A and B are shown apart, each in its own frame.
Chain A
Amino acid sequence: MAFFEVRGLTVSYRRNGIPFEPFNGISFELSEGQVADLVGPSGSGKSSLLCACARLLPRASGALSLKGVDAGSLSPEEWRRRVCYVPQKPTVIPGTVRDNLLLPWSLRVRRSDDPPSDEALRSLMGEASLGDVGLDRDAAQLSGGELARVALLRAFATKPDVLLLDEVDAALDDGTARSVSRLTRRLVRDSTTCLRIRHRPPDGAADRTLKLERGKITQLDHVEEGA
C-alpha cells in the first residue's frame, strides 16, 4: 500500500474563460518519508497538480488516497489538514509572527489540538535562520524572504502527512534556500512526505524527481541540471 497515491488524475477547468486541461489521467505514488521534486516547463501544470492533490482544484476524474484512505471518505478540510499545500506567494495575516504561526490552530479543523509552545516555535524559527525575528514582531514588517519562511514554517508546524511545496524557495537567497532544504529534509525524517516544485539546481534533498510535461508524468533517472 502506497503512502500517498494519485490514480488517473485529470483536472479540467476554464482558465480566463478558455477550457484548459493541464494533464489527463496521470498516476504516481510517494513513499513515507520521501522527498520528491516535481520539475517541468512553465505552464505544464505543476502547480495545478499540487493544488489538485490538496483538493484545492476540482478534479474531473481520478482518485487520491493517503495511507490507503480514499480522499472521498474525508472532508476537504480534514484532507487538507493531512495534505498541506504551501503556495509560492507567501500570505500572512495581519498580526504578529506568533499569530501567523498559530493560525492553523485557530481553525475549526485543529481547534481541539494543542498549539505548539513559544519554545517550539522559536526552535523552528531558529532552524530556518529566523532566530533574530521575535515572535511578537509585526508580520507586516518582515522582508520578502522572511515572509516566505514564516509561511513555510506555519505549514511545517502543523506536521502534515504530505507537504506540497510550490516553489517556496523562489524568493529566497541561496543560503536561506539551503537552510529551508535542510529543514524540509529534517521534517520529512519525522514521517512527513514531501512533493516540491523547484526551479533551482538540485540541492541533494530529493530522493527522486518527477517530470510533468505535455500532460504526462515520468520519473527521471538522472536529475537534469536546472530542469
Chain B
Amino acid sequence: MDAGVIDIGYLELFGAAAFMLVAAVVAWSLRLRQTKAIVVATARCFLQLLAMGLLLVYLFKYQSWWLVCLVLVGMALAATQIAMGRVKGKALRIWPEVFGSIFLSSMIVAFTVVEAIVHASPWYDARVLVPISGMVLGNTLSATAVAIDRLFSDMDARSDEIMAYLALGSTPREAAFPSIRSAIGSGLTPALATMSAAGIVQIPGMMSGQVLAGADPMIAAKYQIVVLLMISAATTLAIVAICFTTYRKRFTPDGCFLSPALRDEQ
C-alpha cells in the first residue's frame, strides 16, 4: 500500500505555510488584530503534527500497552484543556467532569471499534488505536465545548423559569432539564450534519487520507462510515455525561439556583 503514497518534501511542506498569507492579509486589511494568533496557530499546527508524527513512529516501533495508554491519556488531557479554553468565559470549575466525559466516552467507543470492528491485534495496536482515538477525541472535545456553552447560557437565560420551577418544588434536575435537552441537541447537530454531508459535499478527512495513501476507495469508504458512526456515538455519550454531571454547578447543595447576579465571578 505504501507504494501509492506520494511523500511531501520539507521544502514544499514549509512552502505550504504561504497559504496562511490569505488569512494574514485579511486580518491586516480588516485590522482584526489577529496576526499574532495566525502566526501562533500556524506554528502550533506544524509543531504539534510533526511531533505527533515522530511520536507515532516511535510508538509503532516500540509499542507496549502502557505506552499507548499513556499517549491516549495525554491526548485526552490536551482535549480537556482545549475544551475548557473554549468555555473559559463561564467561570466554571468543571475540569474533572470535562476530562471524565471526554476520556471515558472516547475510550469506550474507540476500544469497541478496535476490538469488535477492526479486530486489531494486539488490542493496543498503536497504528489503529491512536488515530481512531484521536479522531474521536477531536470531535468529542468540540461537541463537549458546544454543549457546555449552550447548557450554561441557556440556564442563565432561563433564570426566572428555573426559579419558578424550584418554587413549585422541582428538583434542580427537573428545573435544569429543558436546558440539558437543548444543550444535548445542539451538541449533536455538528456530528449529524457531517454525516449528512459525507460523500456528497465533502470526502471526510480519514477517507481522503486513506485514498491519498493509496488505499482502495471502497475500503476507505467503509472505514469512514465506521468513523462517522463512532464519532456520533462518542459525542452523544460525552455531551450527555457532561450535561448531567455539571448542571448542578449552578445550584447550591441546598438546591438554590445561582443566577448570574448571585454568582461570585465578577
Instruction: Report whether B256 and A55 are in contact in the complex, using a CB–CB cutoff of 8 Å.
Output: yes
Instruction: Report B167 CB to chain A, min CB distance, Å.
Output: 4
- Of B37-45, B102-110, B168-176, the one with at least 4 CB within 8 A of chain A: B168-176
B166 contact set on A, CB distance < 8 A: 56, 76, 80
B254 at the interface (CB under 8 A from A): yes
Select B168's contact among A17, A58, A84, beta carbons within 8 Å: A84
Instruction: Report whether B264 and A80 are in contact in the complex, using a CB–CB cutoff of 8 Å.
Output: no
B164 at the interface (CB under 8 A from A): yes
Q: Mark A69-80, 1 if CB is under 8 A from B, else 0.
A: 000000011101
Instruction: Report whether B264 and A77 are in contact in the complex, using a CB–CB cutoff of 8 Å.
Output: no
Instruction: Report whether A13 and B262 are in contact in the complex, using a CB–CB cutoff of 8 Å.
Output: yes
The closest CB in chain B to the CB of A54 belongs to: B167
A137 at the interface (CB under 8 A from B): no
Instruction: Report A10 CB to chain B, min CB distance, Å.
Output: 15
Which of B163, B170, B255, B263 is most buried by chain A, counting CB atoms within 10 A of its CB? Answer: B170
Instruction: Report whether A15 and B261 are in contact in the complex, using a CB–CB cutoff of 8 Å.
Output: yes
Docked pose: A94 CA to B266 CA in angstroms: 32
B216 at the interface (CB under 8 A from A): no
Instruction: Report whether A16 and B266 are in contact in the complex, using a CB–CB cutoff of 8 Å.
Output: yes
B196 at the interface (CB under 8 A from A): no
Instruction: Report whether A17 and B163 are in contact in the complex, using a CB–CB cutoff of 8 Å.
Output: no
Instruction: Report whether A56 and B169 are in contact in the complex, using a CB–CB cutoff of 8 Å.
Output: no
Contact A107:B252 (CB < 8 A) given known A14-B264, A56-B257, A91-B160? no
Select B161's contact among A13, A85, A91, A158, beta carbons within 8 Å: A91
Q: Mark A210-225, 1 if CB is under 8 A from B, else 0.
A: 0000000000000000
Docked pose: A57 CA to B261 CA in angstroms: 12
B contact residues, total (Cβ < 8 Å): 23
Instruction: Report whether B264 and A109 are in contact in the complex, using a CB–CB cutoff of 8 Å.
Output: no
A151 at the interface (CB under 8 A from B): yes
Docked pose: A84 CA to B163 CA in angstroms: 11
Docked pose: A205 CA to B108 CA in angstroms: 63
B261 contact set on A, CB distance < 8 A: 15-16
Instruction: Report B156 CB to chain A, min CB distance, Å.
Output: 14
Instruction: Report A171 CB to chain B, min CB distance, Å.
Output: 14
Which of B161, B166, B169, B171 is most buried by chain A, counting CB atoms within 10 A of its CB? Answer: B169
Which of A76, A80, A84, A103 is most buried by chain B, counting CB atoms within 10 A of its CB? Answer: A76
Instruction: Report A65 CB to chain B, min CB distance, Å.
Output: 16
Docked pose: A81 CA to B254 CA in angstroms: 15
A interface, over-half SS: mixed
B255 contact set on A, CB distance < 8 A: 55, 76-77
A187-226 residues at the B interface, CB under 8 angstroms = none
Docked pose: A91 CA to B167 CA in angstroms: 11
Q: Mark A2-23, 1 if CB is under 8 A from B, else 0.
A: 0000000000011111100000
The closest CB in chain B to the CB of A81 belongs to: B169
Docked pose: A106 CA to B107 CA in angstroms: 37
Docked pose: A152 CA to B254 CA in angstroms: 25
Contact A17:B266 (CB < 8 A) given known A55-B255, A87-B163, A93-B161? yes
A104 at the interface (CB under 8 A from B): yes
Docked pose: A76 CA to B163 CA in angstroms: 13
B252 contact set on A, CB distance < 8 A: 58
A108 contact set on B, CB distance < 8 A: 170-171, 174
Docked pose: A77 CA to B254 CA in angstroms: 9
B12 at the interface (CB under 8 A from A): no
Which of B167, B254, B265, B266 is most buried by chain A, counting CB atoms within 10 A of its CB? Answer: B167
A76 contact set on B, CB distance < 8 A: 166, 254-256
A87 contact set on B, CB distance < 8 A: 160, 163-164, 167
Instruction: Report whether A109 and B160 are in contact in the complex, using a CB–CB cutoff of 8 Å.
Output: no
Q: Mark B165-190, 1 if CB is under 8 A from A, else 0.
A: 11111110010000000000000000
A41-90 residues at the B interface, CB under 8 angstroms = 54-58, 76-78, 80-81, 84-87, 89
B163 contact set on A, CB distance < 8 A: 56, 87, 91
Select A109's contact among B161, B169, B257, beta carbons within 8 Å: B169
20 A-B Cβ contacts within 8 A? A15-B262, A16-B266, A55-B254, A55-B256, A58-B256, A76-B166, A77-B255, A80-B168, A81-B169, A84-B167, A84-B168, A84-B169, A91-B161, A107-B165, A107-B168, A107-B171, A109-B170, A151-B164, A154-B168, A155-B167
Q: Which B residues fall within an 8 A CB radius of A? A: 160-161, 163-171, 174, 252, 254-257, 261-266
